[in-house]
Amino acid sequence: MSTTNRLNVVPTVTVLAVVKNRLIGAQRGYKLLKKKADALSLRYRQILKKIVQTKLSMGENMKSASFAWTEAKYVGGDGIKHTVLDSVDGKAEIRVRAYADNVAGVKIPKFNACGSGSLIGASGGGSGETGTTTATTESKSELTGLGRGGKQIQKCKKAYKEALQTLVELASLQTAFLTLDQAIKTTNRRVNALENVVTPRLENTVSYIKGELDELEREEFFRLKKVQAKKKKDAKEREEKEESLSKGEGVVKGEGGSGAGPVGNLIDFANEKDEDLLF
């Protein structure tokens, strides 16, 4: 097995346990990242669908706002711009609030168009500011040139406010779309790396260590078998040598007797009666 497909480690039991733990961690990480990629892809498709719908509504809102602006200019004449500027008090009526949304551990920036409630309250409440704006518009409507010019200005203002809110929503969706796209690419690279590089390399390393340990175990078994066979052979040779020595001693003792063969038991020989003896 090539060392490029596995880790360059020493095949021991301790290293095998460490590599197995790393393999388990890699498999768990792969499962978690796979779930994360699926969640991000699901949210990605939802945002893409919303972007298409928002762009369509954005076109309609901008068309309505442009048409309302044309109507207001027709009603108010060339001096409508000065009338609108005179009615502005220098404070933003719509503020964009930014916050973060968490999707599977990925922070997605979001924007929301909202009214400046604190500024409205400081200026005497929402109804007071609306009444002041209406009164200012009504007071300036005589300068528009035609009747009910203030109503057309308010209609144009409402149309552009809706277009602005749609524009903020579209900006939020576009930002989330780009952020999710980058996060999905990064997550997919990690998933592919774990699936195609890290996990196979660790599995090959585990297989290599197990093979080496099995080979060492077979070598040790063969060595013990040879040692046991050698011990048996030595014991057999020792027994044969002792048996041959014992037979040699018996032959020597038989030659030193009466010639009748090997010497028997001396006690039995003493108990035998001799017929020539009188007592």
Q: How many domains does the chain have?
A: 2
pLDDT of 24 reads 92
Read off the DSSP letter of residue 273.
Answer: P
Read off the pLDDT of residues 125-171 as tens digits, 9 standing for 90 and up.
344 444 444 444 444 444 443 445 667 777 888 888 888 888 888 88
5 domain-assigned: no
Angle between helix 80-87 and helix 149-193 axes, rounded to 10 deg: 70
The tokens of 102 are what?
Answer: 């968490």
pLDDT of 71 reads 79
115 and 79 within one domain: yes
Query: Domain of 182: which CATH number?
Result: 1.10.287.3240
pLDDT of 32 reads 92
60 domain-assigned: yes
The tokens of 157 are what?
Answer: 């203002």
125 and 59 within one domain: yes
pLDDT of 69 reads 81
- pTM here? 0.60
Residues 191, 30 contacting (CB under 8 angstroms): yes
Report whether pLDDT(205) > 80.
Answer: yes
Given 168, 185, 208, which residue is the final one in a domain?
208
Average pLDDT estimate for 55-81 = 80
pLDDT of 91 reads 75
Average pLDDT estimate for 27-54 = 90
Q: Which long-range contacts (CB under 8 A, 24 or more apart) does 50-57 make?
A: 50/173, 51/170, 51/173, 51/174, 51/177, 54/166, 54/169, 54/170, 54/173, 55/170, 57/166
28 confidence band (pLDDT: 50, 70, 90) = very high
178 and 231 within one domain: no
Mean pLDDT check: name the lowest of 64-68, 224-228, 234-238, 260-264.
260-264
pLDDT of 270 reads 57
Angle (CA) 156-157-162 rounded to 5° is 100
Consecutive H or E run containing 122? helix 117-122
Angle (CA) 173-177-178 rounded to 5° is 125
Mean pLDDT check: name the lowest of 61-65, 88-92, 94-98.
88-92
Q: Mean of the per-residue pLDDT values for the chain?
A: 76
Report whether pLDDT(50) > 70.
Answer: yes
pLDDT of 241 reads 83
Determine the structural domain holding residue 254 and report its residue range. Answer: 223-278
Mean pLDDT check: name the lowest of 8-22, 58-72, 80-94, 187-201.
80-94
